[in-house]
Amino acid sequence: MTEENTELKRLQWECRRGMLELDVLLKPFLDEAYPQLDAEDQARFRKLLKCEDPDLFSWFMAYSTPEDADYQRMVRMILARVQPH
């Protein structure tokens, strides 16, 4: 298994969260959008996965906004994929 495949498997595992609402956002984003991201956005996504589920839930449900600009960018990108324009 290549290093890239190992990393992808690890990220797939990290996208599995304790909340279905997060699973349905993170896993499809990883599968469909992550490979096309530039290195900086891929790093931002990996950083976002380190956040706690309650924080992610609050951000994705628009109950609050992350203070960190990297998190803000990734939340917007992920939500843009699932919300009608």
Angstrom distance (rounded) from CA 70 to CA 53: 17
Please give the pLDDT value at position 9.
94
User: In this predicted structure, what is the pLDDT of residue 39?
Assistant: 97
pLDDT by residue (tens digit) across 14-70?
A: 999 989 999 999 999 999 999 999 999 999 999 999 999 999 999 999 999 999 999
Q: What are the residue boundaries of the structural domains of the chain, listed by start?
A: 3-82
Chain position carrying tokens 């990220």: 11
pLDDT (tens digit per residue) in 5-29: 898 999 999 999 989 999 999 999 9
Total-model pTM: 0.91
For 3-82, CATH number out of 3.30.750.24, 3.20.20.370, 1.10.569.10, 1.10.150.250 equals 1.10.150.250
Contacts of 19-24 with CB under 8 Å at 24 or more apart are 19/53, 19/57, 21/57, 21/60, 21/61, 22/53, 22/56, 22/57, 22/60
